[in-house]
Amino acid sequence: MTESGTPTGTPDPMVIRHLEYLGPMATIDGWRPEITLPEIAFVGRSNVGKSSLLNKLMRRKSFARVSTTPGRTREIHFFDVNHQFVLADLPGYGYARISKERKAEWRPLIEGYLGTSPRLQGVVQLLDVRHDPTNDDYVMMDFLADVGVPTIVAITKIDKLKPAQARARVEELSKRLGLDADQVVPFSAHTGAGRDELASALMQLLAMPDWRTTEEE
């Protein structure tokens, strides 16, 4: 097995050949990259482990900054991955120490982006294996369900529990949230578990027909 949990010899489902920062989007009518590629957005409560997951996924040590001060990122950050898709890293939501006004500033950006982005192909929602979903998590999941965009749920920090405990929690969370097994990816940024499964789920998302047009037919 390699560090990422792949049996030796199994091809990497997402070899990162090109990774380029495109820039930040600070307001819904502000700058955003020209839309030429499908986009995949990453969302989650602040401190859920999003930056760590993105670093592992991209096989970079400090592609996304692992923060010591939660709730710092206020913009959507865009990256070109392999000229194949645009990765949108959304600000972490629901950090308790952020004032109500700050939260009110973020919602239009997050929801505006997710609700209107013409090439949004899928969303990866992160949940911490140790915690029950918060009210903010439910608000986000309901919103994504309303939009109708295909969603993958990455369950983070599974190394923090014993393997059997982690499996039981993943099952419990999936059941509670009504998720199909193929929508759920248990993940650890520390051990690399789930990296290739997530990469492979993203490749499948990218291969799907546009959900907006298929829904109208």
What is the spatial distance between Cα 101 and Cα 181, in angstroms, rounded to a whole number? 37
CB of 60 to Mg ion, least distance (A): 14
* 156 in contact with Mg ion (CB under 5 A): no
> 């199994």: which residue's tokens?
10
Contacts to ligand GTP by CB under 6 A: 44, 46-52, 66-67, 70-71, 73, 92, 156-157, 159-160, 188-190
Ranges of H-type helices in the chain: 50-58, 100-116, 135-147, 163-177, 195-207, 211-216
Q: How far is the CB of 100 from ligand GTP (least distance, A)?
A: 18
Q: Which of 51, 125, 156, 188 binds Mg ion (CB under 5 A)?
A: 51
Q: What does the block give as tokens for 56?
A: 């592992």
Nearer to Mg ion, 48 or 141 (CB): 48
If contact means CB under 5 to 8 A according to the sort of partner, which of Mg ion, ligand GTP, none does residue 47 touch? ligand GTP
C-alpha to C-alpha distance for 16 and 20, rounded to whole angstroms: 11
Whether the Cβ atoms of residue 196 and residue 13 lie closer than 8 Å to each other? yes
- The least CB distance from residue 194 to ligand GTP, in Å, is 9
